[in-house]
Amino acid sequence: MRQAGNIPPNKHAAVYLLTGADEFRKRLCLDKLKRKIMGEAADAFNFNLYYARDISAAIIIDFLQTFSITGSRRMAVLVEPEVFSEEDRGHLMAYIKSCRPENVFLVMLGGKSSVKLQNFSRSLPDCVDKIDTTIDDEDDISDWVIQEFGKNGKKINRATAALISGSARQDMGRALSCIEQVSAYTGARQDITEDDVALFLDAPCESSTFALLDATNAKMPDKALLVLNDLLKTNLSPTQAIGLMAWHIIRLLKVKKMISAGASLQDMMAGLKTGSYRLNKLIAQAKGFSLVKLKKNLQSLSNTDIWIKSSNINDSYLLEALVVKLAG
């Protein structure tokens, strides 16, 4: 089984199996494969995502065997193929044995490590390229970090990006959280410094942010102030704390919109680039807020941030006043 960083740039198998416990890493590896095989041409006509729990093998095979009018490459992604029934698995195996690396490609994303997945993996023919996404190439992750900051209009040098890639080897979701938090904290400033990154990599802030918003929504200002005090003990400045809370509220807004749109848990994990544990926590908390409340809180955070940057009033006092207001 190969590591994700060893995907060859010019040689492709027809069928891949991506495994690993971190869903975010698998999605990152899938994006890499998609770019190398499909380029920028992937669309609804030549790329489809399927969940084995919801379809039969015949549906995905039919898509792969349908002739492409443009003659372009086609790719299908099958999530958790190990849950297929014995009959569907037989149809899938027959297709895989006949598949050739020409213009049609199948990428299977295994679920969390289990006996069922191990048995499925062992039953696959030798022509399947199995990739372990547990360990990625560090340079690839640093490139990804630079690209993600670029999407936010930010610049980061490779040495500073490597600080995040070191964290990403343990928790890709946390690395993305760091990127989003640093981007929010730096505001209009384009260049990201090592100090910016170190503040958010070192501070275990996410659980405190969850607790702070729970306390304000429960109208418990005393508890909210205690949580805030603990949060500031991590050496975050009031401005950074506001950026962190704003980032968290924006995620809750995204969760509520996805729920309203009927998005599946898998699509929500992909859209928010997070694992199932963190997503379930976000969903549970989002249900306690209305969209109006979240938007009002976000506006209050923005107003306080302006006050901190433009007035002579003590920063900590303004932040405490904000928390009391949110809990009112």
Q: What is the pLDDT of residues 285-327, one digit of tens each?
A: 898 888 998 999 889 988 988 888 888 888 888 889 999 988 8
Give how far Cα 79 sits from Cα of 49, 60, 264, 287, Å: 8, 11, 13, 27
**Cβ count within 10 A of residue 119:** 10
The 3-state secondary structure of 99-119, one letter per residue: CCCCCEEEEEECCCCCHHHHH
pLDDT bracket for residue 45 (50, 70, 90): low
Is pLDDT of 11 > 70?
A: no
Any idea which of 8-17, 173-182, 212-221 has the lowest mean pLDDT?
Answer: 8-17
The pLDDT assigned to 240 comes to 76
Instruction: Give the pLDDT mean for 4-27.
Output: 69
Band the pLDDT of 153: cuts 50, 70, 90: very high
Span 189-215, average pLDDT: 76
The CA distances from residue 65 to 97, 104, 294, in Å, are 14, 8, 47
CA angle 113, 119, 120 (to 5 degrees): 85
Give me the pLDDT at residue 4, please: 59
pLDDT exceeds 70 at position 43: no
Q: How far is CA 241 from the centre of its chain?
A: 22
Q: What is the pLDDT of residue 82?
A: 94
37 vs 166, residue with greater confidence: 37
Predicted pLDDT of residue 239: 79
